[in-house]
Amino acid sequence: MSTVTPAPPAPVALASAPVRFGRLLLSEWTKIRSVRSTVASLGLLVVLTLGFTALLTWLTVSQWSRADPSQQRQLMADPVSTILSSGFQLSQLTICVLGVLVITSEYATGMIRASLLAVPHRVPMLAAKSVVFAVLVFVVGELVAFPSFFIGAAILHGRAPVSLGDPGVLRAVIGSGLYLAVLGLFALAIGGLVRHTAAGITGVIGFVLVLAPLAQLLPGSFGKHVHAYLPSEAGHLIAQAHQGPHDLLTPWQGFGVFCLWTAAALGAAAYLLQRRDA
């Protein structure tokens, strides 16, 4: 340790912009996979969601005779929605927390300074982080969605048979992964805006869980519209086989609304990331 000679790496020509963005994707992937809690949370999400889906659909079947006819009709009209939404309860919360943490943990630990020293233009870092996290959540979301569907469909088989070939069902199953991916991005954007873990998680949960029931209390058609266009309410329509009788938006319209919300939040996060002192 007494004599130190930093061996100079061979001089390298400056890489092109796409190559540099590729490096950022690799770096962000290393960031995510090298923090144990993230990996553990995603693993737990898969196991618990499958468990919950099985439990809730089984409860539905076992209570079948006691459910009122309108509930039975609703379930038989769109069984895939029932199967997938029982798992959402848990997985969407996990994704909200992870999405916020992916960025606020950098602020909390000071890592953000190292990140921005490496990428002084800043926005490419946010873009790479968003892409990596969204793809990861999408993959995990599908790893949950397909087994959930098959487990749920098997349990419901006697009451409300459903198969992947039915209209809209495959789209709904894939869509549930899409919904989680965009939800993750939405949470990441909120985390980037507020930069504090607790505030970020509170904000996202507020949007996803608190605002929707509140909006339902608003009177008349106004309340109905506000409710329908809220991010998570609009977004999760993609996980239904078809538009329900009370839905204002079609599945793809709803998902589009959710994407617009997310794009706006990410845009605001990128703008503030540029402007603020780190």
Partner 1 sequence: MIEVDQLSKRFGPVTAVDGLSFAVRPGHVTGFLGPNGAGKSTTMRLILGLDHPNTGTATIGGKRYRDLVEPLRVVGALLEAKAVHTGRSAYNHLLVLAQTQGLPRKRVDEVIDLVGLRDVADKRVGGFSLGMGQRLGLAAALLGDPRVLVLDEPVNGLDPEGIVWVRNLMKYLAGQGRTVFVSSHLMNEMAVTAEQLIVIGRGRLIADCATDEFIARSSQRSVLVKSPDAARLTELITAEGGLVKANNGQALTVGGLPAPRIGELAAREGLVLHELTPQLASLEEAFMELTRDSVEYDSRTSQPAATKIQASPTEGTR
State the nearest-atom distance from the C-beta of 234 to partner 1, in Å.
34
State the nearest-atom distance from the C-beta of 12 to partner 1, in Å.
7
Tell the burial category of 182 from Cβ atoms under 10 Å away from its Cβ (0-12, 13-18, 19+): buried
State the nearest-atom distance from the C-beta of 204 to partner 1, in Å.
21
27 versus 250: smaller Cβ distance to partner 1: 27
Chain contacts with partner 1 (rule: CB under 8 A): 1-2, 4, 6-9, 12, 14-15, 19-20, 23-24, 26-27, 30-31, 34-37, 105-106, 109-114, 116-121, 275, 277-278
30 versus 63: smaller Cβ distance to partner 1: 30
| Separation CA 97–CA 65 (nearest Å) | 38
95 versus 128: smaller Cβ distance to partner 1: 128
17 versus 217: smaller Cβ distance to partner 1: 17
246 versus 275: smaller Cβ distance to partner 1: 275
State the nearest-atom distance from the C-beta of 6 to partner 1, in Å.
5
State the nearest-atom distance from the C-beta of 107 to partner 1, in Å.
11
Q: Are 130 and 186 in contact (CB under 8 A)?
A: no
State the nearest-atom distance from the C-beta of 250 to partner 1, in Å.
42
20 versus 224: smaller Cβ distance to partner 1: 20
